[in-house]
Amino acid sequence: MIIDIPSELEAALIGLPLPTWKLDGPFLAQSTMEEYRSELTAAPRFEETAATLRHVLTGESGGYAVLRLGNLAKALGIDDDRFLRLATAFAAEVAVPFSPFPRWPLWKDIGVKVDKDPGKSSGIGYNAFHMDLVNGTLPPDYTTLLCVRPDPLGGGPSILSDAHAAVARLPESSRALLAESAYHYGTFFDLHGVGEECKPFPILDSSDPDKGFVRFTAKMLKRSELGEAHAAAARELAEELVRGQISFMLQPGDYLIVNQRRFLHGREALHSGQDTVPVADRRLLLQLFLRARADAGSAA
């Protein structure tokens, strides 16, 4: 769902002097979140906008939102710290921002590298459906992407798919296989805030078909050795995710927030000719992860 920022709220936020954030380990400090909330709640229609955002992300028919921050990005400068603090403050209304990567800042750059594996997030090819940090015992509850620059050549729309709806369309025999701890993918080292390595793991990690993570990444089909039956069930799921996908192009300042307990995400290939685009002009996103608060029914 697209959420536009009311004009009176935009006007108030442009001059809002949010302080530099502080971290408590990998997490945004509670004191920072309290400061941000104190400043923002005085702005007209902020509470209403934040409530809409939370409802869209957690309501029965929701699971993702695109918060349109483009006007704020233009007014403040999309590379300005003041704009990034506002985006962080909105994220903190949903859950607790954190970085699982000690070597990266709170917001991680996802640029474009023409010599990278095309299927990676910073590659130029199709980035198939997946959840982030799929092999952690505590994956981020939300993954978020802030668009600084879209592909100047017009490629790379974001794709999303309702993971539980896709699972529900599978035969019972396939769902039974997906619920077995027979899957593995990737490495696990130098990570904070996402638990321990989960290997092997079930794709369906809850007995309730409408709850829990769907621990899936299409990359496991090519990069992990899976038994024939389990691989076939995962391929069925991949096909259903594509069948139910939605796609849209993020614009500068668009902030995509995805509830990883509901939706999986990916990206279509970037337009050909990326090697002709100067590095400073290529597609650029900033990624931030969120951990649901303990009182929201998820591990913190």
DSSP 201: B
| DSSP three-state, residue 235 | helix
Place of tokens 């809002």: 16
Q: How high is the mean pLDDT of the chain?
A: 94
Q: Residue range 185-197: average pLDDT?
A: 91
- Strand locations in 29-185 (E): 64-68, 96-98, 108-110, 127-130, 142-149, 158-162
Structure tokens that stand for 57 in this block: 């992300």
pLDDT in tens, 58-91: 988 889 999 999 999 999 999 899 999 999 999 9
Contact 183, 266 (CB under 8 A): no
All structural domains of the chain with their residue ranges: 2-293
Confidence of residue 207 (pLDDT cuts 50, 70, 90): low
pLDDT of res. 296: 60
pLDDT of residue 212: 85
Indicate the pLDDT class of residue 209, thresholds 50, 70 and 90: low
Contact predicate 157/126, CB 8 Å = no
Q: Is the pLDDT of residue 54 over 60?
A: yes
Report helix angle 81-92 to 30-40, nearest 10: 100
At 5-31, the pLDDT tens digits run 999 999 999 999 899 999 999 999 999
Please name which of 41, 10, 21, 9 lies closest in space to residue 88, comparing C-alpha atoms. 21
Identity of the amino acid at 124: I
Task: Give tens-digit pLDDT for 265-288.
Answer: 999 999 999 999 999 999 999 999
CATH of 2-293, one of 1.10.443.10, 3.30.70.360, 3.40.449.10, 3.60.130.10: 3.60.130.10
What are the Cα distances from residue 289, in Å, to 57, 186, 268? 14, 19, 21
- Secondary structure of residue 59 in the 3-state scheme: coil
In sequence order, what are the beta bridge partners of 67?
3, 255
Rounded to whole angstroms, the Cα distance separating 188 from 81 reads 31
Angle CA(134)–CA(136)–CA(139) in degrees, nearest 5? 70
* Residue 298 binned pLDDT confidence (cut-offs 50, 70, 90): very low
pLDDT digits (tens, 9 = 90+) for 115-155: 988 988 999 999 999 999 999 999 999 999 999 999 999 99
